[in-house]
């Protein structure tokens, strides 16, 4: 016989082209198969897995659903060492206002983990003040 879609088009339960079948169409297919009607298309029970390829150019690029191979896992970053026991530092801007900051502009780390010799001041800051907030405050 014809394909499932052609059979449903003859019954006015589906339209030509692609798309999902309605509940009534699926019920009609189940009834036809129980009556012994055989369709031309094969029954697919899930996604067919792609054949394994050893060529590196055929591998999926990193993105959604990407799982690296065991040898391709990036190393873990070493634990950070606290350099200063402070939670925030202060600077002044051109108008004399105090600016509180917690991130070094030079390296991007928190000021307590920053290893820069001279802390990178935030944008607009002109001078670093001696005022700091101790850790845990």
CA 127 to chain CA centroid, nearest Å: 40
69 in a domain, yes or no?
Answer: no
28 in a domain, yes or no?
Answer: yes
41 in a domain, yes or no?
Answer: no
User: What's residue 52's pLDDT?
Assistant: 56
For residue 102, which of 120, 118, 115 has the smallest C-alpha distance?
120
68 in a domain, yes or no?
Answer: no
User: What's residue 92's pLDDT?
Assistant: 92
User: What sign does the dihedral 116-118-124-127 (CA atoms) show?
Assistant: positive
Beta strand segments in the chain, E: 86-93, 98-101, 125-134
**DSSP result, 100-130:** EE-B-TTT-SBTTT---SSPPPPTTEEEEEE
User: What's residue 105's pLDDT?
Assistant: 86
**Which residues share a beta bridge with 91?**
99, 128
The residue segments making up the domain with residue 110 are 86-134
Q: Does pTM surpass 0.75?
A: no
20 in a domain, yes or no?
Answer: yes
Query: With a cut of 50, which residues of the chain have pLDDT below it?
Result: none
67 in a domain, yes or no?
Answer: no
Number of structural domains, the chain? 2
13 in a domain, yes or no?
Answer: yes
96 in a domain, yes or no?
Answer: yes
């Amino acid at each position: 016989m014809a394909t499932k879609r052609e059979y449903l088009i003859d019954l006015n339960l589906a339209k030509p082209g692609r798309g999902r079948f309605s509940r009534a169409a699926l019920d009609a297919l189940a009834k036809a198969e129980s009556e012994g009607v055989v369709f031309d298309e094969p029954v697919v029970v899930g996604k067919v897995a792609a054949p394994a390829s050893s060529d590196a150019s055929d591998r999926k690029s990193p993105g959604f659903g990407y799982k690296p191979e065991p040898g391709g896992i990036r190393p873990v970053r070493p634990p950070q060492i606290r350099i200063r026991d402070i939670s925030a530092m202060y600077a002044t801007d051109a108008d004399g206002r105090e600016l509180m900051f917690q991130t070094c502009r030079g390296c991007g780390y928190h000021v307590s983990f920053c290893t820069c010799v001279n802390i990178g001041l935030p944008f607009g800051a002109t001078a670093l003040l001696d005022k700091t907030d101790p850790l845990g405050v």
